[in-house]
Every structure is written in C-alpha cells, then in structure tokens.
Chains A and B, each alone.
Chain A
Amino acid sequence: MSKQAPAHLALDNTNKKWSIGLAVSVLTIFAIYKFALPTASTEVRTFFNNWLPLNSLGEAAVFVLMALGLNIVVGYAGLLDLGYVAFWALGGYVAGWLMSGFWYTKNVNVFGTPPPGLPEGIHLNFAFVLIAAGIFTAIWGVIIGAPTLRLKSDYLALVTLGFGEIIPQFFINGENIAGQNWTNGTKGITPIDNIRFGGLELGVFDLAPKFLIYAGLAAFMIFLSIRLRDGRLGRAWLAIREDELAASMMGVPLMRTKLASYAVGAISGGVGGAAFTTLVNGVFAERFNFAVSIIILSMVVLGGMGNVWGVTVGAILLSWVNSTGLVQFGRVFNEAAGTNINFPSYNFFVFGLLLVLMMLFRREGFIPEARTRIIMHEEDLDSVDFVEHKEGAN
C-alpha cells in the first residue's frame, strides 16, 4: 500500500476553483461594505442596512462554521446531536473568560487588548482564545461522547439534548457555585475585548474587517470538511453512518471514530461560539436554548446532510431568515397590508414546518449528496430486486 493520496484527492484545480471563488465573493462583499457603500446614496444605504446589514453577514459566517461542525456529526457520522448549543455555549464562555475583565482579581495580558485604563482580568489575543476554545470544547466533546456514544441513535439524541440543557443551566446558575462567581449568571459577561489583528484593533463597530475574519474561519472549516470527508477518517464516518455493524466488521474502530467526529464537531462549535461572542460583544447564558440547536440542525437538514456546499448555503439562508429576513418581511408586509402581525413570533412555525416538509418530501436536502439521496430513499428500492439486478449485471 502506497502512502500517497489518490489522484482525485490531491489539491487539484477543483479545490483551487472554489477557494478562489469563495475568496473573490468574500472580498467583494468586504469591498462593497467598506468602500462602496459609504459613498452610495442614502436610499441604497438604507436598503442594505435594512435587508443585509453587516451584522447579519458576520452572523451568517459564524453559523456556517457551526453548521459545518454539526454536519460532521450528523451528516458524516450519522449521529443525531440535539444539544449542539452546549458547544456554542462552552466556546462562548471561553472567549468571555479569556477576553474580558471578568476575572478582575487576576491581571493577565498576553498580546491582548484590555480597554484603556482597565488592565484587570484576563486578556488574551483572539487567536489564542480561538485555540483555547477549540481545545476546551474538544475535551468536552470527548467527555460527553465517551459514555454515550455506544447508545442507539435515538437514545443518543436524547442524551445529547440532556447535555444541551445541563450545560446552559450551569451557566445560568453559575453566579454562585461553591461561593465563587463563575459565569455572572443571567447578566452575562460583557463587554469583550477588541480583536487585535496585525496592527489593527477591531472594536464593536469595525464590522467589515470582522466579517473578513469570520468568513476566513468559515472558509477554513469548508476546506477542512471537504478534505476530511475524502480522507481515511471521513470514509470511516460515512461507513458508520451507512451501516455501523458492517463498518465494524471491516475493521473501523467504532468508538474512536465516533469520538473523533464528536471532537471535530465540538471544536467548530466552540470556535464558532468564541467568534460569536466577539460579534455580539458579550456572552449571555439565556441565549443558549434548545431552539438554537434546532435552528443549526435545520441548516444542516435544509441544505443536505453530508454535503458541504448544501450545508453552507442552508446556514447562510436560515441565519439570514432568523436574524433579518423574517423581521424585515414582517415590517414590509405590515406596512403594505396595514396589519399588525408579529412576524418574528412565526419563527417556531417556519422552522418546524420546514423540518417536517423537508423530511416528508425532500429528505436529502436541497443540494444533496448523491450518496445521501440513495440512503434516504432506501425503502423505495425493492431490496431483493436491487441485489438480483446487480448480480445479473456482473
């Protein structure tokens, strides 16, 4: 067996193509917001501010990052995780702890950017915080995964959901555990330090350069997802997803492979959480509820489980609907029709109906992976005929 990667896995033109395309589109967006928009007419600016604010773009990039992480667990390895919000919360609090004045008795500054005149607290550079968040959540992914991953699929879903409830409850109640304030309770940790990037300091309102950073993180995750999928580990995940028993017979170590998917998913959730904390300038415990897990799951399901591009598009679309689209649509509709309908309250309905209709009519998602489509419609194939047909062809 040669160690060389198969020809189609090499960093060939297809890989270059998408990375160039992505880089161009991200830079275009950046240029539009940074340079073109301030000189545009008021009407154009209002339109962009209403329908496509930079905030929602940054949020979309962070959601791409997290949805791709969940995609590795759900789409690649086929393990339903209903408590993904736990990793978001953990990553968010790592950023909260390491990039603010929260630990006011300490006085640590490692390439950090403490607010002027307030050196108290732990102030780490954003890059270190991302790494710390990744490591911290990976450890938690393994802690959560190790005892539970041998369960059957639906039990696993419920146990992950349990963790998704316990961990946020810890953060909510964390104001006083054993006489120590760990999380500031429902008040949350705010403000967060500025991001230092080269010689620049990016504050709350430097949204355009921040968007570049978040998009870069998301692009890295896209790259990682594509490369992982074709590698040895990725193929092992797909094998487990399709038939756990057969995979273990072929020599795939089940526990280790599943744990790896959990850890990778957790890392991207954690990094996403840390990034989100810097986006909204704080980390707030009550934000981490079950609905968030479901929204991220909807992104994965809508786009097409297992397909990187499908999930990316799904994440961008749904995060926009969630942050801007529904509110704006409601405002326009109410103005036009003279009604007073609270459209954001239709959130539950939109996401619930979306999940049900997708499962009923297009289980493989809008941009499916060829392989997923076959699995999702396995019951349509008459299995006996299928096998006979294949044998006849030989």
Chain B
Amino acid sequence: MSTATKAAAKISVSKILTRASLALIVGGVAWWLGGNLVSDPALFATIAIYGLNNGALYALIALGYTLVYGIIELINFAHGDLFMLSAVFSTFMLVDVLKVEGPGSGHLMYVFLVLIGAMIFGAVINVTVERLAYRKLRNAPKLAPLITAVGVSFIFQFIGLQWNGSAPRNFATVISDGSMEVAGVTIPHETFAIYGLTIPLLILLVTLVNKTRQGRAMRATAQDKDASRLMGINVDKTISFTFALGGAMAGAAGLMYAQTVGNVAYNLGFQLGLIAFTSAVLGGIGNLYGAVLGGVLIGLIQGLNDGLPNGPGQKWSQSMVFIILILLMVYRPAGLLGVSQKEKV
C-alpha cells in the first residue's frame, strides 16, 4: 500500500515539474513576443510577414516528409537535398537554358513552364530513388532505410556540388525586389508570388488526397498495407505515387526558393530540410494540415527570432529550430495535430 502511494507521488512530482517547466518556457516566449508587439506593432508585423514567407516554403517541403512518413514510416532524409536539386535545376533551366533573368513582361510565362518542369523533375527523381533504394528495404529493420536515405542525401549533395559549383550562385530573380507599404507595414512583392503559388498547390494536393480514387488508395495503404492489397490496391504503385507527390512539392519549393532568394547553393538542402522536417513533426507527422501549420509556425518563429530586438538573433536561428524540435519531443512527441499512438504488441 505504502509503496503504491509512493510511486503515485513520484509520478505526480515529475508531472508537475514537466508542466511547470513547460509553463515557464511558454510564458517566457509569450512575454518576449508580447513586449515586442506592444512596443512596435508595425515592425512586428513586417518581421512576421517575412517569417510567413519562409513558412510557406517550409510547409511545401514538410509536405514531402509527412506524405512519405505517413505511408511507409520512413524519415526521407534526402528530401531536403531533393529540394536543393530542384532549386539548382530550376535556376539552370531559367538562367542558362531559357536565358530568363531579372523582371520582365514575358518572363512569368517561362517561370510557369519551369515550375511544371521542376515539379516533374522532383517527382521523377523521388520515384526513381524509391524504386532503386527504399523499395528493397521496406521490410528491413528501420535503421537500414534511414541510413540509406542519409546516403542518398550525400549523393544528391555531390550532384548539386558538381552541377552548381562549391560557391553559392547568385542571379537576378524574375520577381522584382521592391515592396509596398500598408499602414507602416512593409510587404515585399515576393509575398504575393509565394502565397499565389502555395495556396493553389495546397488546395490541389488536399483535393487529390481526399477526393480522388488514388488518394483513397493512399490513405488505405497508410493504414494497413496487407489489407489494402487484399482489397485490390496496387501498393507499390500507390507508394510510388506518394513519392511523386512529395517530390513535386519539393520541386515547386525549389523554384520558389530560387526565385525569391536569388541564390542557390549545394548545401542549402540540409539546413532547410531539417527545418522542414521539424515543421512536419511540430504539426504532427503524417498529417497534411499539420505539416502546413507546422511550416507556417516555424517560419514565423524563426522570422521573429531573427528580426525582433532583445532576442537571440540570427546567429542562433538554427539552434532555435532544433530547440523547438527537442522540446516538442520531450513534451508532445505526437505534434500539435497528431494523435499519440500506443505501441501495439
């Protein structure tokens, strides 16, 4: 009896500690944000918009992680580098092949063409890698496909290095650098392009997954592969399709990044990929809406951290994202929109 009460007391103490530390962290962040919001609302909004621009990008990449994880429980480590390759590809197509650089009247049409090209490029590469590497390892211990994905990521980086050179490549973007001002809040022109591209893509993706026959097959395969096979679903084809969708999103994100930032480097996939993965986990990995929410939130948090005064500042930007990842793992591994699952025996 006494041991039972002791055990109960011990659990509640650790629970109280967890809650208290969480409250302390959230409270501290809220205090810092609130203070900044009150002292200079216009600056706060400007910085938030910059953050949200990145957030849309993270959301697009995070979708690739979450789609693949949802269906075969693989953290596709190479996804960030696929995004990088797409950025390099789209730059190569636009600047070297089509000679489109800088703002111009007819240029948007070319950008649209390259957007389609980059999406196909991302999809084809992702499907090829799945076919050559991951498919053979589908029933292997989890360590094997994860290490393979790390290897693929290195190979992608090598391709990027050979293709794009070791130094970052700068060029003039099609969207002009200017910005407009509304009530003291600066809105860069990219914002319209980014959201004009991201929102239709997201609507398209969600419709595809929720409304079409292929989408239904995807959801069924994610739930139970054997049962889906018995129902006549071609599981291999469905998994390939999922990789194609994720790759296409990474392709679109690659073009978007290249055309808003104006430079590409072979090693940008690693950092951005990790941030995007964190976004997927933040929202609840395997959940499409979660990936979007997570991406936007991470973008916002990173933007505020980089821009607002009295904060840790840009040089800690990367650490901030990882600290969020670690805190999340400690306090809520299922993510914001995810449902925690008990391990089945």
Contact between A173 and B316, CB atoms less than 8 A apart: yes
Tell me which of B140, B316, B318 has the highest count of chain A C-beta atoms within 10 A of its own C-beta: B140
Q: How far is the CB of B117 from chain A (nearest CB, A)?
A: 25
- The verdict on A356 contacting B155 (CB below 8 Å), with A157-B146, A169-B316, A245-B343 known, is yes
B161 touches which of A169, A173, A345, A360 (Cβ 8 Å)? A345
Contact between A376 and B144, CB atoms less than 8 A apart: yes
A359 touches which of B139, B144, B277, B318 (Cβ 8 Å)? B144
Chain B positions within 8 Å of A155 at CB level: 281, 329, 333
Chain B positions within 8 Å of A375 at CB level: 141
Could you tell me the distance between the alpha carbons of A297 and B141 in the complex, rounded to whole angstroms? 17
- The verdict on A162 contacting B322 (CB below 8 Å), with A80-B143, A245-B343 known, is yes
Interface size of A as a range: 35 or more
Q: How far is the CB of A381 from chain B (nearest CB, A)?
A: 11
Contact between B270 and A158, CB atoms less than 8 A apart: no
Could you tell me the distance between the alpha carbons of A165 and B320 in the complex, rounded to whole angstroms? 11
Contact between B325 and A359, CB atoms less than 8 A apart: no
Contact between B154 and A349, CB atoms less than 8 A apart: yes
| B150 contacts chain A at the CB level, 8 A cutoff | yes
A360 touches which of B137, B158, B274, B329 (Cβ 8 Å)? B137
Q: How far is the CB of B18 from chain A (nearest CB, A)?
A: 10
B297-318: contact bitstring with A at CB < 8 Å (1 yes, 0 no)? 0000000000000000001101
- The verdict on A351 contacting B154 (CB below 8 Å), with A173-B316, A360-B136 known, is yes
| A154 contacts chain B at the CB level, 8 A cutoff | yes
- The verdict on A360 contacting B148 (CB below 8 Å), with A147-B329, A153-B143, A378-B141 known, is yes
Could you tell me the distance between the alpha carbons of A356 and B156 in the complex, rounded to whole angstroms? 12
Q: How far is the CB of A84 from chain B (nearest CB, A)?
A: 13
Contact between A163 and B319, CB atoms less than 8 A apart: no
- The verdict on A355 contacting B142 (CB below 8 Å), with A159-B326, A346-B158, A348-B155 known, is no
| A31 contacts chain B at the CB level, 8 A cutoff | no
B152 touches which of A74, A151, A154, A356 (Cβ 8 Å)? A356
Chain B residue at smallest Cβ distance from A151:
B329
Could you tell me the distance between the alpha carbons of A301 and B144 in the complex, rounded to whole angstroms? 10
Contact between B319 and A353, CB atoms less than 8 A apart: no
B122-145: contact bitstring with A at CB < 8 Å (1 yes, 0 no)? 000000000001001101111111
Chain A positions within 8 Å of B66 at CB level: none
Chain B positions within 8 Å of A82 at CB level: 150
Chain A positions within 8 Å of B333 at CB level: 151, 155
Chain A positions within 8 Å of B153 at CB level: 352
A356 touches which of B141, B148, B274 (Cβ 8 Å)? B148
| A335 contacts chain B at the CB level, 8 A cutoff | no
Chain A positions within 8 Å of B319 at CB level: 165-166, 169-170
| A78 contacts chain B at the CB level, 8 A cutoff | yes
Q: How far is the CB of B151 from chain A (nearest CB, A)?
A: 3
Contact between B318 and A169, CB atoms less than 8 A apart: yes
Q: How far is the CB of A393 from chain B (nearest CB, A)?
A: 26
Chain A positions within 8 Å of B270 at CB level: 290
- The verdict on A359 contacting B148 (CB below 8 Å), with A163-B326, A169-B318, A170-B319 known, is yes
Contact between A159 and B325, CB atoms less than 8 A apart: yes
Chain A positions within 8 Å of B161 at CB level: 345, 348
Chain B residue at smallest Cβ distance from A165:
B322
Q: How far is the CB of A181 from chain B (nearest CB, A)?
A: 15
Chain B residue at smallest Cβ distance from A155:
B329
| A107 contacts chain B at the CB level, 8 A cutoff | no
Contact between A349 and B133, CB atoms less than 8 A apart: no
**Which residues 331-371 in A have Cβ within 8 Å of B in the complex?**
345-346, 348-349, 351-356, 359-360, 363
Q: How far is the CB of B96 from chain A (nearest CB, A)?
A: 21
Chain B positions within 8 Å of A351 at CB level: 151, 154
Tell me which of A159, A162, A351 has the highest count of chain B C-beta atoms within 10 A of its own C-beta: A162
Chain A positions within 8 Å of B73 at CB level: 154
Q: How many residues on B have C-beta within 8 angstroms of the other chain's C-beta atoms? A: 45
| B330 contacts chain A at the CB level, 8 A cutoff | yes
| B345 contacts chain A at the CB level, 8 A cutoff | yes
Contact between A294 and B154, CB atoms less than 8 A apart: yes
Q: How far is the CB of A159 from chain B (nearest CB, A)?
A: 5
Q: How far is the CB of B325 from chain A (nearest CB, A)?
A: 5
Tell me which of B281, B315, B322 has the highest count of chain A C-beta atoms within 10 A of its own C-beta: B322
Contact between A379 and B140, CB atoms less than 8 A apart: yes
Q: How far is the CB of B298 from chain A (nearest CB, A)?
A: 13
Contact between B139 and A173, CB atoms less than 8 A apart: no
Chain B positions within 8 Å of A147 at CB level: 326, 329-330
Could you tell me the distance between the alpha carbons of A346 and B277 in the complex, rounded to whole angstroms? 27
Q: How far is the CB of B320 from chain A (nearest CB, A)?
A: 9
| B323 contacts chain A at the CB level, 8 A cutoff | yes
| B147 contacts chain A at the CB level, 8 A cutoff | yes
Contact between B345 and A359, CB atoms less than 8 A apart: no
**Which residues 130-183 in A have Cβ within 8 Å of B in the complex?**
147-148, 151, 153-155, 157-159, 161-163, 165-166, 169-170, 173
A352 touches which of B152, B277, B281, B322 (Cβ 8 Å)? B152
Chain B positions within 8 Å of A346 at CB level: 158
Chain A positions within 8 Å of B258 at CB level: none
- The verdict on A363 contacting B144 (CB below 8 Å), with A151-B333, A163-B322, A165-B319 known, is yes
Chain A residue at smallest Cβ distance from B73:
A154
Could you tell me the distance between the alpha carbons of A155 and B332 in the complex, rounded to whole angstroms? 12
Chain B positions within 8 Å of A154 at CB level: 73-75, 142, 146
Chain A positions within 8 Å of B162 at CB level: 345
Contact between A355 and B151, CB atoms less than 8 A apart: yes
Contact between B150 and A294, CB atoms less than 8 A apart: yes
Tell me which of B133, B142, B154, B270 has the highest count of chain A C-beta atoms within 10 A of its own C-beta: B154
**Please, could you name 8 A-B residue pairs with CB atoms under 8 Å apart, sorted by A?**
A74-B143, A80-B143, A155-B333, A165-B274, A245-B345, A290-B270, A301-B147, A355-B148
Interface residues in chain B, defined as those with a beta carbon under 8 Å from any beta carbon in chain A: 73-75, 133, 136-137, 139-148, 150-158, 161-162, 166, 270, 274, 277, 281, 315-316, 318-319, 322-323, 325-326, 329-330, 333, 343, 345
Other A-B pairs beyond A158-B281, A352-B153, 20, CB < 8 Å? A148-B330, A154-B146, A155-B329, A155-B333, A157-B75, A158-B277, A158-B325, A163-B322, A165-B322, A169-B318, A173-B315, A345-B166, A348-B157, A352-B158, A353-B151, A354-B151, A356-B148, A359-B137, A359-B148, A360-B133
The 9 tightest CB contacts between A and B, nearest first, are A352-B154, A355-B151, A162-B322, A379-B139, A356-B151, A348-B158, A352-B155, A349-B158, A359-B148
